[in-house]
Amino acid sequence: MAGILVLVGLYFTFRMKFTTLTMIPEMFKLIGEKTVDGKGVSSFQAFCISAAARVGTGNMAGVAIAISVGGPGAVFWMWLIAFLGAASGFVEATLAQIYKTRDGASFRGGPAYYMEKALKARWMGVTFAVIIALTFGLAFNTVQANTIVSAFHNSFGVSKELMAVLLTIGSAIIIFGGTKLIVKVSEVIVPIMAGGYILLALGIIIFNITEIPHAFVIIFQDAFGIKEISGGAFGIAIIQGIKRGLFSNEAGMGSAPHAAATANVSHPVKQGLIQTLGVYVDTFGVCTSTAFIVLLSGLYTSTENDGIVLTQNALESLVGSWAGIFIALMVLLFAFTSIVGNYFYGESNINFIKKSKTWVFIYRLAVVAVVAVGSLAGLDLVWGIADIFMAIMAFINLIAIVLLGNIAFRALHDYRQQKRAGKNPHFSANSVPGIHNVDEDIWPTEESRNSKVSSH
């Protein structure tokens, strides 16, 4: 599956003529843009929802293990894959915006929605919806809950049973509070957790600035060294880097588009660019922070097979024993926001299968239940099932975005044309050729938009 994700990302990157690199300044300009009418979810809030699910314990534990198993060279391949995956992230997020639908005062959408509307394959969308609801809302949340409980038990000696109760209550409050509360919580916690972790890493880099050139040297030497190639470590580094990069930033896997669809923007490409930035923040920000912490500590040759422990040991060797408490708090924030974000993805797909408050209520109960059970459960079987389901989910989404890629490319061309004309780009249902089944209430035609303007 990783190989397919790479090939699709490579194809999109060249088809888009490296837009995901050349338009980085535009991404930062858009991050603070307000909603179209001052209502709904902003670009930044949608960015935070996706980051809440994307940035989890894997950014700390997974990267540390990738370096331990694959060597420092795995970091280079992680960077490369983030760049290629960004193009897939752009395409799926743009498609999610084009084919989104209204949900009261806000919007919802994602792969299931563009499979039904653009490919006219509801069966495909329902299949995807069932798999992601089970994988993210249930299986992954079991893992996140267990990680929080274990971290606090190991760092503070808090009983697992007490942590399980507190975590279950906290999750229930946010989940039953609905989308608005999820947005608010994500908007507050995500910048704190990701920013705090990155700032700590920057501080460590500054205090160890003389060691940074050596860190880059060992990354590139290990990625391309003759010894590594002849000894077989080259392949391990590539596999670990690709796996950590793709399964951390989730580009092309079909999860982040659900958050992208919620944003109330004037043009789909705007949120496509924002979600591309999310891939970069995840990999070049959070994952790279962990990588440099491990590399600067010198513990990358450790045989420790618990990623959280390895990261904790590396941080303690650099800043002192208080690092254990810091990591435990980061695990709490990272994993808790992942529980909330994962639930949001699941709910969006439950609504796709059947618009029913009863179904959503039952799903909420199921998610809260797996948080409670997962806090104290063994996870080997859960991880195995989740990995299989995630691979199926990604495969279905990749087929869809490859078939629909031209629509995203045309939308990008339309966006660029309007920017060159000095306009603030606005998307219309009939402004891009070859796009059908778009909700004209959300994306009115040029004629209807002009008539509204003239009537005022």
Strand (E) or helix (H) holding 178: none
Distance, in Å, from the CA atom of 117 to the CA atom of 120, rounded to the nearest integer, reads 5
Q: What is the average pLDDT across 105-127?
A: 90
What confidence tier does 230 reach under pLDDT thresholds 50, 70, 90? very low
What confidence tier does 114 reach under pLDDT thresholds 50, 70, 90? very high
Q: Which residue has 């958050």 as its token pair?
A: 259
What confidence tier does 245 reach under pLDDT thresholds 50, 70, 90? low
Per DSSP, the residues of 356-370 read -HHHHHHHHHHHHHH
**Cα-Cα-Cα-Cα dihedral sign, residues 214, 219, 220, 221:** positive
Q: Is 18 in a helix, a strand, or coil? A: coil
pLDDT tens across 303-339, in order? 655 566 777 778 777 877 777 677 777 777 777 777 7
What's the pLDDT score for residue 64?
76
Instruction: Quote the pTM value.
Output: 0.83
SS3 content of the chain, % helix, strand, coil (to 5): 80, 0, 20
pLDDT-wise least confident of 33-42, 95-104, 113-122, 357-366: 33-42
Of 210, 206, 211, 196, which is closest to residue 296 (Cα–Cα)? 211
CA angle 276, 64, 246 (to 5 degrees): 30
Which domains can be identified in the chain, with CATH numbers? 41-431 (1.20.1740.10)
Q: What is the average pLDDT across 221-239?
A: 57
pLDDT tens across 260-295, in order? 888 888 899 999 999 898 888 888 887 888 888 888
Measure the N-to-C terminal CA separation of the chain; round to a whole number of Å: 53
Residue 179 has pLDDT above 70, yes or no: no
pLDDT tens across 167-178, in order? 888 888 878 877
Class of residue 147 by CB neighbours under 10 A (exposed 0-12, middle 13-18, buried 19+): buried
Q: State the average pLDDT for the chain.
A: 79
